[in-house]
Structure 1
Amino acid sequence: MRELDLSIRPATDKDADILYTMICGLENKVMDRMNFDFVFLRNIRNDAIRYYIAEYGQQPVGMGSCHIQALLHHAALVGEIQEMYVEEAFRSKAIGKMLMGYLVDFAKSKGAIQLEVTSRNYRESAHRFYQREGFEKSHVKLVRYF
C-alpha cells in the first residue's frame, strides 16, 4: 500500500452507509439501522463530535470518531475516542496511526486537555495499539446494561 493512495477525510451525512458497515464490523453484529441513523444524524451535526473516514483509493478502509465533553472531574474539555475501526485486510498498515493523528488534532483544536479511549477486555491487539500511540492503562471502566 502506498501512503499516497491513502486519504483521510471528515465524514458527512452522506457517509451513513459506510459508517454503518464499519460499526457493524467493529461490534461484530448487525446494528439496528433505524437507531443507528438517528444517532448518526444527530451526532454528525454536533460540532463537538467528529467522524473520520480513511480511504484507500476510493475504497473506505477505516474510521475513527472523537467526542469532546466538558467534564467536572477535570474542570476542562476532554476528548474521547468512541469508535476506531480498520478493515481486517488493511490492518497493520499504519491506517490506525494516521486516523489517530486526525483524532488528536481534532481534540486539541477544540481545547481538550487529554484524549481517552475505552476498549473491550478481549481486544488485546487494540490495547497494544493504543499503548503504542501513547495511551496509559490507568482506569477501569464498569458498565451497567439495561
Structure 2
Amino acid sequence: MTLNIKPATLSDFETVYHFICELEEVSFDKEKMRVIFEENLKSQKIIYLIGSYQNEPAAFLSCHLQNLLHHNGMIAEIQELFILKKFRRKKFGSILIDYLIALLKKKKVFQLEVTSNKVRTETLHFYKSIGFTDSHIKFVKPLI
C-alpha cells in the first residue's frame, strides 16, 4: 500500500479537525481549533503532515521543534499521530514517522520524542516496536 504524504494546508483543516476529535474522543470547539491550526501552519517549528491512500485522507502527524537548553540543541516531539481505523496495521504510522525523520535529519534535529497516554497500550507498543525507548516519565498538572 502506498501512502502519499504532503505538508498539511488550510484546505486540510476539516480532515484534521475530525481526526483530532476522534483521536481525543472529544468534540473540540471548531473555530478555536481553526485559529490554532492556521497559526501553527505559519510556524517554521511545527510540521503538519497528511497521509492519503488512493486520494482519501488516512493519517495525520504533527511535530513541534524546539531548541532546548538541556539538550543544547534542536529536538522534535510528535504531538499527534492519527491513523483512521480502517487504515491501521498497514504500516502507515511507520511510513509517516520515517518521512518525518528524513525531514528532521535535514534540519539537523538530533532527537525525536513522543509522549502517549498510558491507557493507549497499542500505541505504546507501536512506538516501542519502531525503536523508541521508554526512558522518561511525564507528569501533568491540569490548570483549568
Tell me, yes or no, whether TM beats 0.5.
yes
Q: What is the TM-score when the length of structure 1 is the normalising length? A: 0.94
Aligned with 1:17 (options 8, 14, 18): 14
CA distance in 2, matches of 1:141, 1:16: 29
In the TM superposition, 1:49-68 aligns within 5 A as 49-68=46-65
Which segments of 5 or more consecutive residues in structure 1 lack a partner in the other structure? Answer: none
Q: What is the TM-score when the length of structure 2 is the normalising length? A: 0.95
Q: Determine what percentage of the aligned residue pairs are the same residue.
A: 38
Kindly provide the amino acid, as one letter, of the partner of residue 115 in structure 1: L
Segment drifting more, 30-39 vs 75-84: 30-39
Q: Specify the SS of the correspondent of 1:83.
A: strand
- Contact kept? 1:65, 1:82, Cα under 8 Å: yes
CA distance in 2, matches of 1:70, 1:132: 27
Number of equivalenced pairs: 143
Which segments of 5 or more consecutive residues in structure 2 lack a partner in the other structure? Answer: none
CA distance in 1, matches of 2:20, 2:8: 14
Q: Once the two structures are superposed, what CA deviation does each residue of 1:24-67 show, in whole Å capped at 9, x if it has no partner?
A: 11101111112211111111111111111111111101111111
In the TM superposition, 1:3-82 aligns within 5 A as 3=2, 6-82=3-79
- Contact kept? 1:68, 1:107, Cα under 8 Å: no
Q: Specify the SS of the correspondent of 2:26.
A: coil
